[in-house]
Structure 1
Amino acid sequence: MSRPAPQWWLRASVASLALALQGVTPTTAQSPRAETAPASVVLDPLSVEGSYTAAPKYQVKDLYSGTKTVTPRLSLPQQVDVVPQEVLRDTAATRVERALDYVPGVGKQNDFGAQNLALYSVRGFATQDIFFNGFNIARGYNGAPDTQNVQSIEVLKGPSGALYGRSDPGGTINILTKQPVALPFVEMGTLFGSFGTARTTVDAGGPLNEEGTVLYRFNGALARQDSFRDFVDGDRVLVAPVVSWLISPDTKLTVEAQYLRNRQTFDRGTVAVNNRLGLVPRSRFFGEPGDDSVSEAGILQIRLDHAFNADWQLRVAGHFNTGSLTGLQTGATGLLDDGRTLLREFRRHDFTWGVAIGQAELVGHFATGPFAHTVLLGLEHERYNSTENLLRSTPRLDPFAIDLFNPVYGQPKPPITRRYSASENVGNTAVYVQDQIALSPEWKLLLGNRTDFYNQTFRDKVSNERTEQDRTGFSPRAGLVYQPLSFLSFYGNVAASFRPNTGFDIATRPFAPETGFGYEAGVKLDLFTGLSVTGAAFHIEKENVLTTDPRDFFFQIAAGAVRSQGFDLSFVGQVTPEFRVIGGYAFIDAAVTRDEVLRVGSPLLNIPRHSGSLLGVYEVQAGDWKGFGFGGGVRAVGSRLGDSGNERFRLPGYVLTDALVYYRYENLRFGLNVDNIFDETYYERSYNAFWVGVGEPRRVIVSMTARF
């Protein structure tokens, strides 16, 4: 039965606000005939947010990214770790990378000299697949995501190709952004601290018309940060508006945009001398002052949600992303026998890209006999093009050297003697289907598959070599949940994934795509007043990994294979109404199983066998000290391989301790964070012995926010 729009919208707004004040995410109707408002409009998973004045909570009851439908956590046969917005606030995290420190099994990989979207590892496999409301933003060189417009982060463990297409089998990260809200507000924030950190933010939202059918949200950030590294600094600008329009009681249109400009000094980190770290100060810089890169990227997303009735909803969405990365680089390439003369290469780069993705998804609820179904039918089409131009010097002819122990900067730039220029064009069409079947109150089955029809053209403009390939990729998925008690479930799953390789071999033939396969079994618990605990054992394999061609080391072949296995334990939520925690532990055994150069059994780069973290925060709920909170965190990472071609070089393990304290009074919040309290020297990532990322020393941050 239809209802007048203003009355219906008021009723929906009150319901949504009540849920938000309780810190509860609404769920999609489980019964095919549930008497609820259309789920795709009222219960938009991207629009739910906790209250600023209510006590912060880490509680997670429902998930979106694992099925693209709002699904109770215990009903999902997959481990998905969630970083709520409150964790970002408590840790004063300004980059998504910092927020992932408390997700078990997620590690830091190559950050490309701090220039672009960082590379992570999930369950032992490196991945650059970060999604933005379900769309991949790893195409191109988008700047490392800012947290200012982030509502929550969901980390899917294991292969996720059945929903998201070509990807790595270790895991997928999906960022859900802040959405418009019904009550008007403005929140201003400032943050400053060590290493010249200064940041100003704004978050505002509310209705744009009297009827309340048009809502907006605006987030912005201006930031400046120097570094403990000599001559290194950076700044960024973020502008992120969102507008939603309730066209009718059953139809809503949302338009969301983001502009991010990031300037950063190119810095590959420190150097290990004869596999030894720590021989030079951790602040010493081996690039050239003024070698900056600037990335600019714009994102536009459009979503149309329509409910045909209480059982069937349609979502049509578009994603457009364009950007550029330009600048200068000076990076180490080798060390002379004297142990102090570092050879360097100078580069000028100019990268551009453009992405257009369209999605149409139909969600339906129906019954077949005693079985209740939630079906997702999806269609996606993507067009991607990029151009990379890179000018390079030749260190063998023009060393551009620097003394590790007595560096002299400002040398004349070496001549450009090498040129790389390439373009890539990708077209991809995919169809996918998923069925969540409630076999009984205790048993739930999930089945799904995605088929990608992929076309790729790669052209090396210097050699005038061109390759083209057409591939069909299948990404099936199956999972089963047994929930004997309301707070306990057991699950298992099996899934596959694929990722096309770019480029060509020595015979100018395109590479076969990487294929992944994994399975896991786990248990989920809900404890106390809202503590979510998940433990899982997993095994994942990946084949057709690019490896060096033994016939000519300048080329590669798709002949490698790797595997990762182990178990992880994660927890997030409320132990008591006053005490919230997030963290976990991961044991990962990741190794090469086939390669033309690397030893079979050699560990994978940057993957520790043991890692774990714990963040706990206590807030007084009543009395004179109400609103006062304090807490601390521990982050531990074990020893790991630091150079794929040199098993003797390993990064040492480390344990870091963090602390925080804050006070909330009415619409004000004052916070103090101290990271790495004991000022430990540590190395958080490495590409090889000459590109080793140095972790930050003790860092103090003071923050203040006010909401009106």
Structure 2
Amino acid sequence: MAPCLPSLPGRRLSAGLAATLALSLACSLPAQAQADPPALAAARQFDVAAGSLGAVLTQYASQAGIELTAPSALLQGKTSAGLTGRYGVAEGFDVLLRGQGLQATRSVSGAYALRAVPAAGPGAATTLTPVTVVGSVREDPTAPTTGYLARRGLTGSKTDTPNIEIPQAISVITRDQMQDQGVAPALQDALRYTPGLIGTRGVNLTDDSFNMRGFAAGLATTSNTPVFRDGMRQSPAMYASTVEPYGIERIEVMRGPGSVLFGQVTPGGLINVTTKRPTDTPLREIELQGGSHDHKQVGIDLGGPLDDDGVWSYRVTAMARDADTQTDYIPNDRQYIAPALTWRPAAHTSLTLLASYQHTRTMYNWGLPVAGTLRDNPNGRLPRDRFTGEPDFDDYDTKTWTVGYLFEHKFNDTLTFRQNARYYRSDMTWNSAYGAAMQPNQRLLNRFGFIRSDEYKSFSVDTQMQANWHHGNIAHTTLAGIDYSHTPWVRDERRGQVAALDLYNPVYGAPIIPNARSSRVLDTDASQMGFYLQEQMKIAQRWVVMAGVRHDRSRSTIDGVLTTGAANSPESRLKLRDRNSATTGRAGLVYLFDNGWAPYVSAATSFEPESGAVDFNGDTFEPTKGRQYEVGVKFESPSSPYMFGASVYDLRRSNVLTADPLHPGYSVQTGAIRSRGLELEAKADIARQWQLIGAYTYTNAEILRSNAGDAGTAPPGVPRHTIALWGVYRFGDAVAPGLKAGAGARHIIGTSGYVLGTTPTDARLPSYTVVDAMLGYETGPWTLTLNVNNLLDKRYVQSCYYATTTCFYGEGRSAIARAAYRW
């Protein structure tokens, strides 16, 4: 009979029952002698999931093929992180029970019994059983991870799978890395040392947009925001909201097409952030920040169990920030609160409720003209702090509410059911004296009034059934899922008149005269449903085969009214109906060597609808399509403090919109873009003393077909080479207890410019190097940190975009001091 350890009830047992109840596991092995025979002493592979201590010991005993008896009173309220790696039976018990005050002893019959560790008398010496660790405690990809090395993730497969077994490039940024690098206030700050992507527009607080493997993601679009939260899309549109870094536990980046699991995404990849969730152990932290640009921030992070049995646990994360930015008059103000509650009535069932409220006040950064930033201007160079709007008019205000849940139930060791859902609402107002074009004197910037309000709503649900099963020496993980989203949103946009601004001697206070009517009022209703199936096969612990297929159906309706804005303007009624379907897939192969190396090969496809656009005949467009081939190698070993990944890829996007040569003002779907590249990433976490990161990216992106005159050039904002190095050193007790210092450098070469527009740039922007530094000190419950970004105050243009060719300075030198107290 297979071993079985029943789950503990979700309430305190009576004293009499607890005294007599024992959890017994029958095993198929005969009784053993007291000394561990070679079969039990020999190391074997274990893969034990985290959970209550009772559930973890059940899995462990089952995989070890042993009999274990444990009084329930010793298990109540205890949890375990599980176990992954190669261990002897005694070694595995030592790791699982470390810090629990428990030990497992083996009787002459061969059965194991769990008992409390006897208290040592005064002066008594404690003898520790030597343990040779060949594996490591199983990592939970949704919980805090110590250090920089994260070995497991959810983004690559939607299952808890080691990243080395995913045949696609994946990077994980842990909370420890974010803290060391002083991440604030935008998501792009956390990804500065990650290969394959870069933020789009300098100091950007209104959206989370990136260039990923040569393709813009979330830039001036409404449907392909690249950021997901807990596996579901973070927001339904580009300007609906942004991620608050203080509220996330980790960031997972999957480069290359991800439509097979996530549906409508850019071919360059996606970013999945994990919300801070309830913890099994008490967590209490308060944090104060202060720094450049009058930065002031306070944060609080509380969590832990609510009862002795660990059935209920909670987390409350909150922060408030009052700050300016390097651009005059643009604030960086935010309030954020995210309560979370987990109910775990048994080891096989959990329900986590998540909610959040976020209020952001900032202004849109229009950038600055080419002349005076990237190119010479007879009037001189424009400063980084120049503001092009009107301080008393410009505003970008978003209020976002979310509520959702993460549910999981394990029917048995084979079948697991999961359902994740979220309701999202965001109200956005955006007022701007928007830049248009420079006048011939190269001093005056023409502007227009821009008044916009949006209301977004979204409901998303992802339902999954997972089966873990074996057939001979093949371990299968089969995943089937259905996800659905419904997004209604309303946009009201009005234009107006405002005087030009002298960028070299700005005088603010010009009135904005709104047009009599809105220029456009759009009512959009979009829905999407996807069906996906994925199979992971692990053959003889060597070969990993992954294959998946997905079919999506999407629908969107746009009803609107368009006018010139004049009081007597005629109305143009807009009615767009669009239905699309697409089938995408992924297939890959990984080989796992004993020494930790794992070469892989994969192919994957993606799609994105082109919503809201029609051709000359009034017909909607087909979705754009992506196709990628990737070859790479990864290195990772539980006994090694190093991780490494290398990948080369060929990624193509077809059905790209380009100018209609026969009908000016319209588009045809004959464009194509290709990106080829190499990405290298290395991380090391050596004895918790040295923590190192190295990354290199080579991207050769090219517009293959276009009617706009830019064929043969690269899409804007894509660096040809990116080199990033970061390191932190902890001095240790012998030198300076609690002191650590770190530094990093990012070298960007050959960012592609914007070769179209009123003032085209060169094909490549000037290269630049940015140096960052940090200093930290820990003593008792206090952690003190100073982060300085762009230490040498390098002045550089990060990117240029748009028809008027607007350029964006990168952030200058800034410093933030942080004091955190934990109790």
In the superposition, the TM-score normalised over structure 2's length comes to 0.79
Is the CA contact 2:139–2:151 (under 8 Å) kept in the aligned structure 1? Answer: no
Pick one of 700, 705, 708 that aligns with 2:820: 705
- The answer as to whether partners of 1:529 and 1:576 remain within 8 angstroms in 2 is no
Give the alignment partner of residue 589 of structure 1, picking from 691, 696, 700: 700
What are the Cα deviations for residues 576-633 of structure 1, in whole angstroms up to 9, with x where unaligned? 5310122301000011111121322111110010112111001134336232111101
Name the residue aligned to 2:795: 681
Q: Secondary structure at the match of 1:244?
A: strand
- The yes-or-no answer on 1:180 pairing with 2:278 is yes
- Separation (CA, whole Å) in 2 of partners of 1:353 and 1:415: 24
* Shift in alpha-carbon separation, 1:480–1:626, aligned structure 2, 3 A: same
Counterpart in 2 of 1:483?
Answer: 592
- The aligned counterpart of 2:208 is 118
Residues in 1 aligned to 2:730 and 2:164: alpha-carbon distance in whole angstroms: 28
* Structure 1 residue 100 corresponds to structure 2 residue 195: no
Matches of 1:213 and 1:584 in 2, distance apart? Answer: 42
| Match among 492, 495, 499 for residue 608 of structure 2 | 499
Q: State the match for 1:519 in structure 2.
A: 629
Tell me, yes or no, if the aligned pair for 1:358 and 1:381 is still in contact at 8 Å.
Answer: yes
Note if 1:465 corresponds to 2:574.
yes
From the superposition, tell whether residues 335 and 13 of structure 1 become closer, same or farther in structure 2 (CA, over 3 Å).
Answer: farther
Deviation at 1:195, TM superposition (A): 0.6
For 1:77-117, what per-residue CA distance to the aligned partner results, in whole angstroms no more than 9, with x for missing partners?
11101111111111111222100101012112248x94532
- 1: CA distance, partners of 2:391 / 2:282: 46
Residue 464 of structure 2 corresponds to: 361
8 A contact 1:642–1:649 mirrored in 2: yes
CA contact (8 A) 1:57 1:573 kept: no
Indicate yes or no: 2:647 matched with 1:536. Answer: yes
| Counterpart Cα distance in 1 of 2:213 and 2:687 | 30
Equivalence for 1:53: none
Q: Which has the larger displacement, 614-623 or 155-164?
A: 614-623
Residues 89/25 of structure 1: CA separation in 2 closer, same or farther (3 Å cut)? farther
Q: CA deviation at 1:650?
A: 4.6
| Cα deviation 1:196-230 (Å, max 9, x = unaligned) | 11110000001223332000011001001112222
Say whether 1:381 aligns with 2:496.
Answer: no
Q: Secondary structure at the match of 1:596?
A: coil
Residues in 2 aligned to 1:459 and 1:500: alpha-carbon distance in whole angstroms: 18
Bigger mean CA deviation after superposition, 220-229 or 362-371:
362-371
Tell me if the contact between 2:554 and 2:579 (Cα under 8 Å) persists in the aligned partners.
yes
Q: Is the 8 A contact 1:58 1:86 kept in 2?
A: yes
Within 1, Cα distance between the matches of 2:329 and 2:143?
A: 42
Alignment equivalent of 1:261, drawn from 355, 359, 362 = 359
- In the alignment, the residues of structure 2 paired with residue 679 and residue 672 of structure 1 have an alpha-carbon distance, to the nearest angstrom, of 16
State the distance in 1 between where 2:460 and 2:85 align: 26
SS in 1 for 2:387: coil
Return the offset for 1:442.
1.8
Alignment deviations for residues 490-546 of structure 1 (CA, whole Å, 9 cap, x no partner): 001000010101112233221111111001100111378322110000110111222
Q: 1:280 aligns with which of 374, 382, 385?
A: 382
1:5 Cα deviation from its structure 2 partner? 2.6
Question: Given the alignment of the two structures, is residue 557 of structure 1 paired with residue 668 of structure 2, yes or no?
Answer: yes
In structure 2, relative to structure 1, the CA distance for the partners of 1:552 and 1:632 (3 Å cut) is: same
| Residue aligned with 2:593, SS | strand
Give the partner amino acid of 1:459: D
Provide the secondary structure at the position in 1 that maps to 2:770: strand
Structure 2, gaps ≥5 residues long: 13-22, 24-50, 61-79, 87-91, 97-136, 218-224, 563-571
CA distance in 2, matches of 1:3, 1:283: 61
Structure 2 CA distance for aligned equivalents of residues 559 and 695 of structure 1: 34
Give the drift of 1:692: 2.0
Maintained 8 Å contact 1:107/1:120 = yes
> How many Å apart are 1:322 and its aligned residue?
0.9
Residue 615 of structure 1: aligned partner: 726
In structure 1, what residue type is equivalent to 2:635?
A: L
- Determine whether 1:131 maps to 2:225: no
| Structure 2 CA distance for partners of 1:508 and 1:400, relative to 1, 3 Å | farther
Shifted more, 518-527 versus 147-156: the winner is 518-527
1:318-357 aligned within 5 A: 318-357=421-460
> Structure 1 residues 177, 399: CA separation in 2 closer, same or farther (over 3 Å shift)?
closer
Secondary structure of 2:177 counterpart? helix
CA deviation after TM superposition for structure 1 residue 267, in Å:
2.2
Structure 1 pair 494–428 and aligned structure 2 pair: CA distance change class (3 A): same
Q: Is the 8 A contact 1:104 1:583 kept in 2?
A: no
Separation (CA, whole Å) in 1 of partners of 2:142 and 2:85: 14
Tell me what 2:168 maps to. Answer: 78
Measure how far apart 1:644 and its partner are. 4.7
Q: 1:53-452, aligned counterparts within 5 Å?
A: 57-94=147-184, 95-110=186-201, 114=204, 116-127=206-217, 128-140=225-237, 141-273=239-371, 276=375, 279-290=381-392, 291-393=394-496, 400-416=499-515, 419-452=519-552
Q: Partners of 2:429 and 2:350 in 1: how far apart? A: 39
Aligned pair in 2 of structure 1 residues 620, 367: CA closer, same or farther (>3 Å)? same
Tell me the SS of whatever aligns to 2:176: helix
Does the 8 Å CA contact 2:9/2:346 hold for their aligned counterparts? yes
C-alpha distance 61-11 of structure 1, shift in aligned 2 (>3 A)? same
CA distance in 1 between partners of 2:55 and 2:495 (Å): 57
Q: Which of 405-414 and 98-107 deviates more? A: 405-414
Cα deviation code 1:396-416 (max 9, x no counterpart) = xx5621112222211121442
Asked whether 1:3 is paired with 2:3, we answer no
Identity %: 27
Tell me the equivalent position of 1:579.
690
Q: Pairwise CA RMSD of aligned residues?
A: 2.7
Which residues of structure 1 form unaligned runs of 5+?
17-22, 51-55
| Distance 1:415-1:246 versus aligned 2 partners, 3 A rule | closer
Counterpart check, 1:666 vs 2:775: no
Q: Comparing 458-467 with 144-153, which one deviates more in the overlay?
A: 458-467
Mean Cα deviation higher: 584-593 or 691-700: 691-700
Does the aligned pair in 1 maintain the 2:55–2:347 contact within 8 Å?
Answer: no
Which structure has more RCO (C-alpha within 8 Å, separation ≥ 6)?
Answer: 1
Alpha-carbon distance in 1 for matches of 2:193, 2:54: 35
Counterparts of 1:647 and 1:194 in 2: how far apart (Å)?
A: 32
1:466, distance to aligned residue in structure 2 (A): 1.3
Other-structure match for 2:715: 604
For the residues of structure 2 that align with 1:337 and 1:362, how far apart are their CA atoms? 64
Following TM superposition, by how much is the alpha carbon of 1:455 offset from its aligned partner in structure 2, in angstroms? 1.3
Cα 1:28–1:454 shift into 2, 3 Å: farther
Answer yes or no: is the 8 Å Cα contact 2:700–2:720 preserved in 1.
yes
- Kept in 2, the 8 Å contact 1:60–1:532? The answer is no
3-state DSSP class of the match of 1:573? strand
Quickly say closer, same or farther: Cα 1:73–1:443, change in 2 above 3 A.
Answer: same
- Which stretch has the larger CA shift, 528-537 or 145-154? 528-537
Partner Cα separation in structure 1 for residue 288 and residue 712 of structure 2: 49
Give the corresponding residue for 2:144: 49
Counterpart of 2:261 in 1: which secondary structure?
A: helix
